[in-house]
Amino acid sequence: MVFRPHPKKNERLKCEVEEFTTIINRSRYFCQSKKHKFFGKVGSNRMAKTIREGALTYIYILLYIFLSSGQIFFNKWVLSSKQINFPYPLGLTLLHMVFSSVLCFLLTKVFKIVNVEEGMTLDIYTTSVIPIGAMFAMTLWLGNTAYMYISVAFAQMLKAITVFILGVAAGLELMSCIMFFIMSLISFGILVASYGEDLKLNPISVMYYVSPCSALCLFIPWIFLELPKMNVNGPWSFQPPVLTLNSLCTFALNLLVFLVISHTSALTIHVAGVVKDWVVILLSALLFADTKLTVINLFGYGIGNIVGANTSII
């Protein structure tokens, strides 16, 4: 006797199998669709984040070029203007660091707008913060002092050591021990300050730790070098609005420098500085009578900047 399944049961079993298969296929399609949408969304979010960070970096760099150029002319005006009558570059730099220290303290400890990142130890402070603060103060002091004796354009060109060496080799500039010492200190200060990016602190935290150290390093020579001159010249004459605005702009510039370095690298700030130098040189030729540029000057400066930038990249 041969067993034959009932036709209705066989048909019903076939329908159940087809229905189950349809459910499995729909579930698989649903999972794949969700998977593609998820990874597509993640990819688009990453791309949007990259574009946003890139745009923010370019904004920081443009702000640095604009603010740095303006601050150079501001310092030149404060130090050499007869209306302000404040020919004390060391005192001006000391005022900037004291103002920065007080403002950082107010932002972090009083109003608590920004938190100071923890992790600062005595070893880090002595091996990193103190050298950075000392060299940062020296760089600012000597940079401001240069505006007392030479034009803005020539001061910017002297910051590029390559240009100065080429000028000496061509017989256009005179090498002296004092000039070589000053330029070496400025370059070493920039080098040490760039090491600050390894601390991995936010810009406010960096200024919070570095500014008091820089102020102390400036206060000691100020007592012996400029305080006697200020006492001899009679009563101190200050213009609080102008000096406060100048100190605020300097604080914003220093903050922006650390911000650009933390988002990019020391090389980026160097390349941006080359662009800033050209802006300052061209503007100083238009604004100040002591700046006279010739085609030979511009050609030599251009070669020096190109060589210096390529050397930094290598």
- Total residues belonging to the chain: 314
pLDDT of residue 122: 87
pLDDT of residue 49: 78
Residues 168-212: tens digit of each pLDDT: 565 655 556 665 665 565 555 555 445 544 556 778 888 899 999
In whole angstroms, what is the distance from residue 165 CA to residue 14 CA? 92
**What is the pLDDT confidence band of residue 305, given thresholds at 50, 70 and 90?**
low
Question: Is the distance from CB of 285 to CB of 293 less than 8 angstroms?
Answer: yes
R_g (Cα) of the chain, nearest Å: 31
- pTM beyond 0.75, yes or no: no
**Which is more confident, 47 or 40?**
47
pLDDT over 50 at 2, yes or no: no
**CA separation (Å) from 81 to 34, 197, 203, 288?**
69, 36, 32, 12
Phi, psi (rounded to 5 degrees) for 73: -70, -35
In whole angstroms, what is the distance from residue 231 CA to residue 154 CA? 31
pLDDT over 90 at 106, yes or no: yes
Q: Which of 192, 287, 210 is nearest to 255 (CA)?
A: 210
Question: Is the distance from CB of 100 to CB of 255 less than 8 angstroms?
Answer: no
Residues 233-281: tens digit of each pLDDT: 766 667 888 899 999 999 998 888 878 877 776 667 777 777 888 788 7
Residues 43-97: tens digit of each pLDDT: 567 777 788 877 888 888 888 889 988 998 899 888 887 777 788 999 999 999 9
Question: Is the distance from CB of 305 to CB of 160 less than 8 angstroms?
Answer: yes
pLDDT of residue 46: 76
Phi, psi (rounded to 5 degrees) for 275: -65, -45
Average pLDDT over residues 141-153: 80
pLDDT of residue 226: 92
In whole angstroms, what is the distance from residue 244 CA to residue 99 CA? 8
Number of other residues whose CB lies within 10 A of the CB of residue 165: 17
